[in-house]
Amino acid sequence: MTMIDTLQSRIAPTLDRGGDLLLPTLARLIFAATLAGYFWSSALTKLGDGVLGLVQPSVGAYAQIFPRAMEAAGYDTSQLGVFHWAVVVAGTWAEFILPALIIIGLFTRLASLGMIGFVVVQSMTDLYGHGSIGDPAVLGAWFDRDSASLILDQRSLWLILLAVPIFKGAGPLSLDRVLFGPTAR
């Protein structure tokens, strides 16, 4: 047992240093490969027509984010207030901007924290707004041998992936490193 402990003690510092460099870069790469397209595709469905679509979201955007309010308003967005408009526009922009910031490694810690907030709100909207709270296939359960549930399985993995840059920074291949130096991590 002493030999194993000695070996581990000798390689641990090297693994720690390597992990500090490798983990954030891999987390950003995996985010780009698996989730960025998902969020950008979702954001595209929320844009209204033409250039003003960035500030005049589609009816579907309101229905996705405020499903019950839209149903109560007869799917007439003019029946909703400035709050609803601001949340929909901010959510749409966040789906474009935050993934891009994470991928290029700019303000990565804040962008990752913002994405975690986004995923939490998205999950609550799916569960409560769209009425999926009672659907065990959507909510899922941990320790059940089924890794396919949308909320507890998939999105908890998303959150861990996003937590890596929060705690470790963007890594060496990032604009954070270029602009703010090695201390930006």
**What is the rounded distance in angstroms from the CA atom of residue 98 to the CA atom of residue 153?**
22
**What is the rounded distance in angstroms from the CA atom of residue 134 to the CA atom of residue 29?**
34
Tell me, what's the pLDDT at 42? 95
Which is nearest to 23 in space by CA: 168, 122, 182, 144? 168
Q: Say how many C-beta atoms besides its own lie within 10 A of residue 117's C-beta.
A: 13
- Chain-wide mean pLDDT for the chain? 91
Percent of the chain scoring above 70 in pLDDT: 99
**What is the rounded distance in angstroms from the CA atom of residue 184 to the CA atom of residue 161?**
19
Tell me, what's the pLDDT at 185? 64
- The C-alpha angle with vertex 179 and arms to 174 and 184, in degrees rounded to 5, equals 65
Percent of the chain scoring above 90 in pLDDT: 70
pLDDT of 149 strictly over 70 = yes
Packing angle of the helix pair 2-31, 82-104 (nearest 10 deg): 130
129: which 2 tokens? 């707004």
- pTM here is 0.88
pLDDT of 1 strictly over 80 = no
Choose between 129 and 113: higher pLDDT: 113
* Per-residue pLDDT reduced to its tens digit, 3-62: 888 878 888 887 778 788 899 999 999 999 999 999 999 999 999 999 899 999 999 999
Tell me, what's the pLDDT at 29? 97
Based on the number of CB atoms within 10 Å of its own CB, is 98 exposed (0-12), middle (13-18) or buried (19 or more)? Answer: buried
Q: Residue 151 in contact with residue 123, Cβ under 8 Å?
A: yes
pLDDT range class, residue 111, cuts 50, 70, 90: very high
